[in-house]
Structures are given as structure tokens and as C-alpha cells.
Amino acid sequence: AQALRKLSEASYADEAMMQDAVRRKGEFNFIDGDTGVKVDFWATKHDEYSLLKLKRRVPRKISGKTVYFISPEDLILSKLIWHKMSESSRQLEDIESILKISGKKLDMEYIKKWAEHLGVLTIFRASLKKR
């Protein structure tokens, strides 16, 4: 609760909305009041894939601080799930961009394994055919 309060004080974010997102295992946005930078936060679920995704996060140094980002593979999987739920073409466009940028560095076996487990393998295969 204290961390959410601090975020709320430093940004355009509503503390009650953030607490609700954490309770629902949903998401909320943080927009820095000084820079306008927008960051999306997702509360972690406690299923096998969500915990693995958290372990696979990628550390980066920004202004001397370690900040963690979702791995490109898990970002693709997350976007596949969002597309399945919303049928938003935006998610597929994002996947195409990630595939172009990360290309051969991606662990395709990991993506295929979890795409099958998560019920989005057909969508992923269709994305690969568009390349």
C-alpha cells in the first residue's frame, strides 16, 4: 500500500484504482508528472506461467537503478493472450514488430511451448506466416 501511495503522489495515477488492480490481478498505468513517460504495471497472478514470466524478467540499468522488463518472448505471449480475448489487431501488429526487432534472439521453442499451453499457438503460427 505504501508503494502505491508513493506512486500516486509522483504521478497521474489514482491510488484506489491501483489497489483495485492489484486485488483483481489486473493492470494500471503510471504517468510520470515531470516527463510524461507512461509505464504499465500488471499485478502478478500465481499460476505457473505468471510465476515463470516473473522469473524470466530482464534487468536493465536506467539512471543507475535496476529496472525489470518483461522478456520479449513473454511479451509476445501476453499479446497473444490479449488478442485472443479482444481480437485487437494492435496486439498482432505489436507481435510483428517484436519478431522483426528481436528476430533470431528469440527463444522460439519457449514461445511455441507456452503458446500451446496457453491456447494461442494457432494465432502465433499465423503471425509467423505474415513475416
pLDDT tens sequence across 14-46:
777 778 877 877 777 777 777 777 777 777 788
Residues 56, 89, 18, 62: is their CA dihedral positive or negative? Answer: positive
pTM (whole model) above 0.85: no
Residue ranges of the chain with per-residue pLDDT less than 50: none
The 8-class DSSP code of residue 32 comes to: B
pLDDT at 26: 73
- Determine the distance from the C-alpha atom of residue 53 to the mean position of all C-alpha atoms in its chain, rounded to a whole number: 9
pLDDT at 15: 74
Domain boundaries, the chain: 1-43, 44-131
